[in-house]
């Protein structure tokens, strides 16, 4: 009788992130004239990320005078490269990105801040 060895599944890919921060007015969700352009930016980012095949755009959070956009993929540098032209062309400032090179649950994960 042949002996069969069960193959181990491949390890799950590490998920990197690009987290984009924009200041908005007030302590809450900003004004409509601030939110609408951010929603349009999201659409451009979704398209750029999909066309480059580098990950996915995951959504936004508004609150505390800030808008935060989230994108995830296997390589933060590639993800940022797809997003960068749209982020730099966007007029809202101050703005910055955090490139996270690993899982959010990893206490030793490397992060890099890029001011836009």
Tell me which residue has tokens 């939110």. Answer: 35
Q: Residue 14 has what pLDDT? A: 65
Each residue's pLDDT expressed in tens, for the chain with a length of 116 residues: 455 566 655 555 669 999 999 988 877 778 888 889 999 999 999 999 999 999 999 999 998 889 999 999 999 999 999 999 999 999 887 899 999 999 888 889 999 999 99
Q: Residue 47 has what pLDDT? A: 97
Rounded Cα gap, residues 48 and 104, in angstroms: 24
Tell me which residue has tokens 């590490």. Answer: 14
pTM > 0.85: yes or no: no
Q: Which residues pair with 61 in a beta bridge?
A: 68
Q: Residue 52 has what pLDDT? A: 97
Q: Residue 2 has what pLDDT? A: 54
Contacts with 70 (C-beta within 8 Å, 6 or more apart), sequence order: 17, 18, 19, 20, 57, 58, 59, 60, 61
């Amino acid at each position: 009788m042949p002996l069969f060895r069960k193959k181990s599944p491949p390890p799950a890919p590490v998920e990197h992130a690009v987290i984009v921060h924009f200041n908005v007015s007030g302590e809450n969700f900003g004004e409509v004239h601030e939110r609408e352009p951010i929603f349009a930016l999201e659409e451009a980012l979704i398209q750029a990320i999909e066309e480059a095949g580098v990950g996915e755009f995951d959504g936004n959070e508004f609150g505390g005078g800030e808008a935060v956009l989230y994108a995830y993929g296997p390589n933060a540098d590639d993800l940022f490269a797809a997003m960068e032209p749209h982020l730099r062309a966007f007029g809202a400032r101050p703005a910055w990105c955090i490139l996270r090179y690993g899982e959010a649950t990893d206490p030793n994960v490397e992060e890099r801040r890029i001011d836009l």
